[in-house]
Amino acid sequence: MATGQIRQSLAGYYDVVTEDGEKYRTRARGNFRDRGIKPLVGDIVDFDVSDHDEGYILAVHDRKNSLVRPPVANIDTAIVVTAAAEPDFADNLLDRQLVAIEEFNIQPIIYFTKTDLLSPEKLAHLREVGAGYTKIGYPTYVPDDAFAPAGLAQLQAEFTGRLSVFMGQTGAGKSTLLNHILPELALETGEISQALSRGKHTTRMVGLHEINGGLVADTPGFSSYAVFNMEANELTQYFPEFDEASRNCRFRGCVHINEPGCAVKAGVEAGEFMQSRYTNYLAFYDLIINQKPDYRKKKK
């Protein structure tokens, strides 16, 4: 028996790479389905090493996180590809994405595309917005040209020692950015290609590629962010700057709306926090409060 990481998945086969770089093609044990276990790319697994051509995964180690789209486990970093134009930048959507990623305990990195379509004034404003997110602790890239070699090299420096995925809204340029970083992928881009390929996500190969001392998933994801899965009073912890400030609120459990002595509201009024972040926090809080329960969800 040996231990390794699933680097590629296709049609029930899993390519596992061991620490010494050996690759083995495996399948999951027959009872995995009965036990509700589905191995994912990124999983650390124990497997039978009797044959390089076909072994069997015997056990899947505990995951620190996993996503459905892309179907990857043990993710360290998510590059949130965000359009500066076409579609216009929407801070509400970006903050919604950041909350979703924070919920999985993944480090977000914000990368703006289509910046070449902005006027100098709008680009300067976007850089101010980017500086606000950098202050929170989110590495943020606002390049003059999203696909210039210098900007791509800077982004690739973030991959070292991490397992990274690309995600963002439809039309932001996730596939185009991945194509520039991994030209051999030739991912389909454009509205027509996206519409045609929408039904193929479940069968296409998902893989991890070694780049700059890290691993990058070749399948982008997270196009929609419909539901908040946390309770309303838990929302604060997914806004890191508010979560830190809340330690100084007068009341324990403050949700930063109507309570007196709220350090978060004081910080917003003092200009320490982005007004847009607080506005979106309030909007998300209301959405969670008014969200109808999804009875289709399986109880854990």
Assess contact for 2 and 47: CB atoms under 8 A: yes
Comparing CA positions, the residue from 112, 240, 107, 235 lying closest to residue 169 is 112
Task: Please indicate if the annotation marks 170 as binding a ligand.
Answer: yes
Is 197 labelled as part of a ligand binding site?
no
Whether residue 180 is annotated as binding a ligand: the answer is no
Say if residues 125 and 132 touch (Cβ distance below 8 Å).
Answer: no
Q: Any binding-site annotation on 5?
A: no
The answer to whether 219 is a known ligand-binding residue is no
Within the chain, which residue ranges are assigned CATH 1.10.40.50? 232-290
Q: Which residues contact 295 (CB under 8 A, 6 or more apart)?
A: none
What tens digit of pLDDT does each residue of 20-39 get?
Answer: 999 999 999 888 888 888 99
Q: The tokens of 167 are what?
A: 């995600």
CA separation for the pair 102, 209 (Å, rounded): 24
281-296 pLDDT per residue, tens: 999 999 999 986 655 4
Answer yes or no: is 115 a known binding residue. Answer: yes
Out of 3.30.365.10, 3.40.50.300, 3.20.20.70, 1.10.600.10, the CATH code matching 77-217 is 3.40.50.300
Task: For tokens 């030209």, name the residue.
Answer: 183
User: Can you give the chain as a three-state secondary structure string?
Assistant: CEEEEEEEEECCEEEEEECCCCEEEEEECHHHCCCCCCCCECCEEEECCCCCCCEEEEEECCCCCECCCCCEECCCEEEEEEECCCCCCCHHHHHHHHHHHHHCCCEEEEEEECHHHCCHHHHHHHHHHHHHHHHHCCCEECCCCCCCHHHHHHHHHHHCCCEEEEEECCCCCHHHHHHHHCHHHCCCCCHHHHHHHHHHCCCCCEEEEEECCEEEECCCECCCCCCCCCCHHHHHHHCHHHHHHHHHCCCCCCCCCCCCCCHHHHHHHCCCCCHHHHHHHHHHHHHHHHCCCCCCCCCC
23 is in an annotated binding site: no
Q: What is the pLDDT of residue 224?
A: 62
Any binding-site annotation on 26? no
Question: Comparing C-alpha atoms, which of 38, 105, 44 is closest to residue 75?
Answer: 105
pLDDT, one tens digit for every residue, the chain (300 residues): 899 999 999 888 999 999 999 999 999 988 888 888 899 999 999 999 877 678 899 999 999 999 988 899 999 999 999 999 998 899 999 999 999 999 999 999 999 999 999 999 999 999 999 999 999 999 999 999 888 888 899 999 999 999 999 998 888 888 889 889 888 776 655 443 444 344 343 335 789 999 999 999 988 887 666 568 899 999 999 999 999 999 999 999 999 999 999 999 999 999 999 999 999 999 999 999 998 665 544 443
Tell whether residue 160 is among the known ligand binding residues: no
| Annotation: CATH topology of 232-290 | Ribonucleotide Reductase Protein R1; domain 1 (1.10.40)
Distance CA 57, CA 283 (A): 45
Judge: domain 2-60, CATH 2.40.50.140. yes
Residue position matching structure tokens 């196009």: 223
The response to whether 18 counts as a known ligand-binding position is no
125 annotated among ligand-binding-site residues: no
Domain with CATH 2.40.50.140 in the chain: 2-60
pLDDT at 194: 44
**Where does CATH 3.40.50.300 sit in the chain?**
77-217
Strand 44-47 relative to strand 2-10, pairing:
antiparallel
How far lies 262's CA from each of 8, 100, 137, 145, 259, in Å?
A: 48, 25, 22, 41, 6
Q: Is 175 annotated as a binding residue?
A: yes
Q: Is the pTM of this model over 0.75?
A: yes
Residue 55, marked binder: no
- Which pLDDT belongs to residue 209? 93
